[in-house]
A and B are shown apart, each in its own frame.
Chain A
Amino acid sequence: MDLKEKLVSSFLAFEESIDVHSPVHDIRNEAIKTFETEGFPTKKQEAWKYTSLNAILKHDYSVFPKQENTIEYKDIKEYFLHDIDTYKIIFIDGKYSSHLSQTTHDGIDVCLMSSALNKPKYRPIIENYFNKIATKDSLTSLNTAFSNEGAYIHIPKNKLVDKPIQILHFSTGNEAALMLQPRNLIVADENSEVQIFERHQSLTDNPVLTNSVTEIFTAKRAIVDYYKLQNDNSNASLIDNTFVDQKDQSHCLVHTFSFGGKLTRNNLNFYQNGERIESTMKGVTIIGDKQHVDHNTLVHHIEPNCESHQDYKGIFGDSATGVFNGKIVVEKLAQKTNAFQANNNILLSDKASINTKPQLEIFADDVKCSHGCTIGQLDESAMFYMRSRGIPKKEAKALLMYAFSNNVLSSVRIPELKQRITKVIANKLGVNIGFDL
């Protein structure tokens, strides 16, 4: 039985196991039908031309989590932001781990999607927000069909969250192969502010496929700062579908750091439903071996006087492959839009490749849109400069790559995270430079 059939036939049992009377029952039912009709995307579809899911779909995944597994904090501490105080929503093999988590209902809600879906007091929020901006494509629909667990975060009006929120997913290898479908909902009300850090980590070499959906709503003047660290091991793959709905004067920033995993696909979609909105998407990708990272972004400028900034840097070694497909739509009404997009890449080997494609659809006549993509090698004169000062080739290369990524790193607003990421970069490049980069 292939994965699609397995998922479709598991759906009934899945819904039985949770609550068929949930208000989202109909939504789930619709969604599984969509997935059943469309199936997994193939390279025949324009948006998937350079990314094939075939290799990762062939495993016999367990498709919904059954039992809770435990891990000791000390064994996974390194994956946390652990030097600072944070809220934590932790999942192990798709199940919530209460002993590792630190949730709250004190002034803000940092808790579980399953509670939000099931408890009557959250019903208005679910009715207003759940699945409202997630698209109806097959992978998002598949997640919607199986949506039950994930993070639910609601920040009320004027509330600034005092510490970052971590959403971490671990897989233990208890299943020979595991498919996870976390579903997150983040609602930031007027004038609120929150920082979120998310990562997926497999603890063994067993294959893991995560198909995640996150919906983010930023109300008037809200600020949401979202960081994704994708540094999973080489048998873990991630399809991240993130949708952001922004209202007047809000600012949402999504930073994506892709350093690992077998295959990573980021579908990142911003919809600007208001004026003077700012949307920021930044990413650093550093991969090697046969790893594949695909960034598929969309900014939809719907109303006037808004801005969007996209800055993606990629470094590809060995036989690694990358894709950047950045779409900007400026509606007729969206005058005075300022949209900026840059995608710069360095190929370290002859076998590495990147397909980069800006896609602009502009229907307004008074807008500023700029885009640029570059593909190059490491700057030889910069290498010579550093080596002539006594810095060996490997270290010089690392410094250059760090410098190349610096634009993206410089806007990370959690200092510990910034340090962490520079350390990951240094490790990845196999260097130990005598200072914190």
Chain B
Amino acid sequence: MLKIKDLHASVEDKPILNGINLEVKAGEVHAIMGPNGSGKSTLASVIAGKEEYEVTKGEIILENEDIDELSAEERAHKGIFLSFQYPVEIPGVSVTNFIKTAINETRKSKGLGDMPAKDMLKMIREKSELLEIDRKFLSRSLNEGFSGGEKKRNEIFQMAMLEPKLSILDETDSGLDIDALRIVANGVNKLKSKDNAVIVITHYQRLLDYIVPDFVHVLYEGRIVKSGGKELAHELEERGYDWIKEEVNA
């Protein structure tokens, strides 16, 4: 589904990613871990098409199409979803209206008309139940005054509504208490299928107890320096990142 080949990227001429290679197949869950400043969030933003990041070398291929030239919205239309570490507050625009706009813009890009109101309502009801979201919550202004847990739950709610092919969860566990973490992880697990894929970016192993990865990659200084199965996450939790740094620097 997603192939990243020798990806280099910089922001304001400062190189952050220094040759990433990664392949994610449909049905897989990949975890990307690594110390602070290793480039995890940059990788997520580069895949999603943030303009401030300049790809200086390499390719990002989604279902056999090089997406490097595509805008963020075009990538979203092709099925990439990024759950933000810090979702943005948009006063005056309700959760419902925001997601309606997002869905209908995606449909428009495919030459489809707006989703009929009845279908939209039904879908909103189903997906909000999945994430244990109260109906009142949906009429509140997007992310305005939301708690950390509400913001993340709302991100996964949007993911559920948009039904992306590739979801990237950037530090979705940060700021979550254990109950919220369980609800969010549960939602992600229920949305998983053989046709979609998930990249979980996290600093800690905690989230991976709930969203169990098929592969774990360690990012350090803008490169994937180690890959393994889910047991690698446990090892990192116990031993920290210093041994990886030593291995790399040796």
Contact = CB atoms under 8 A, between A and B. Distances in A.
B85 to A, nearest CB: 11
A40 interface: no
Interface in B67-109: 71-73, 75-77, 80-82, 84, 86-88, 90-93, 97-98, 100-106, 109
A114 interface: no
B90 A400 contact: yes
Interface stretch (A22-30, A324-332, A386-394): A386-394
Contacts of B88: 379, 381-382, 385-386
B92 A391 contact: no
Q: Size range of the interface on B?
A: 35 or more
Contact of B105 (A385, A391, A406): A391
Interface stretch (A118-126, A184-192, A205-213, A429-437): A429-437
A389 B80 CA distance: 9
A73 interface: no
Contacts of B84: 385, 388
Interface string A351-388: 00000000000000000000000000001111011111
B162 interface: yes
B111 to A, nearest CB: 14
B213 interface: no
Contact of B71 (A393, A403, A410, A434): A393
Given A387-B71, A388-B76, A390-B76, A395 B105 contact: yes
Interface string B35-62: 0000000000100111110000000000
Nearest to A389: B102
A400 B84 CA distance: 17
Contact of A391 (B50, B52, B91, B101): B101
B128 interface: no
A391 B81 CA distance: 12
B114 A402 contact: no
Contacts, number: 87
Contact of B162 (A390, A403, A406): A390
Contacts of A382: 88, 90
Given A385-B87, A410-B92, A391 B97 contact: no
Given A384-B50, A391-B73, A402 B92 contact: yes
A64 B88 CA distance: 53
B139 to A, nearest CB: 12
Interface residues of A, number: 29
Nearest to A387: B72
B101 A437 contact: no
Interface in A290-324: none
Nearest to A382: B88
Nearest to A390: B76
B92 A403 contact: yes
B158 interface: yes
B158 A402 contact: no
Given A387-B72, A393-B73, A406 B48 contact: no
Contacts of B90: 382, 386, 399-400, 403
A388 B48 CA distance: 6
A390 B105 contact: yes
Contacts of B106: 390
A392 B92 contact: no
B109 A399 contact: no
A173 B45 CA distance: 55
B30 to A, nearest CB: 19
B92 A389 contact: no
Which of A390, A395, A410 has the most chain B CB atoms inside 10 A of its CB? A390
A316 to B, nearest CB: 20
A87 B92 CA distance: 30
Contacts of A400: 90
A406 B91 contact: yes
A234 interface: no
Contact of B82 (A388, A392, A406): A388
26 contacts: A380-B52, A381-B86, A381-B88, A382-B88, A384-B51, A388-B76, A388-B81, A389-B158, A390-B73, A390-B76, A390-B102, A390-B162, A391-B73, A392-B105, A393-B71, A393-B73, A399-B98, A399-B101, A400-B90, A403-B90, A403-B92, A403-B93, A406-B91, A407-B91, A434-B101, A434-B104
* Complex A-B, nearest 9 residue pairs according to Cβ-Cβ distance, in ascending order: A406-B92, A390-B76, A387-B72, A385-B88, A389-B102, A390-B106, A382-B88, A406-B91, A387-B73
Interface of B: 45, 48-52, 71-73, 75-77, 80-82, 84, 86-88, 90-93, 97-98, 100-106, 109, 114, 141, 158, 162
Given A384-B51, A385-B88, A410-B92, 14 more contacts: A384-B45, A384-B72, A386-B90, A388-B72, A388-B75, A388-B81, A389-B158, A390-B76, A390-B77, A391-B73, A392-B73, A399-B98, A405-B92, A437-B93
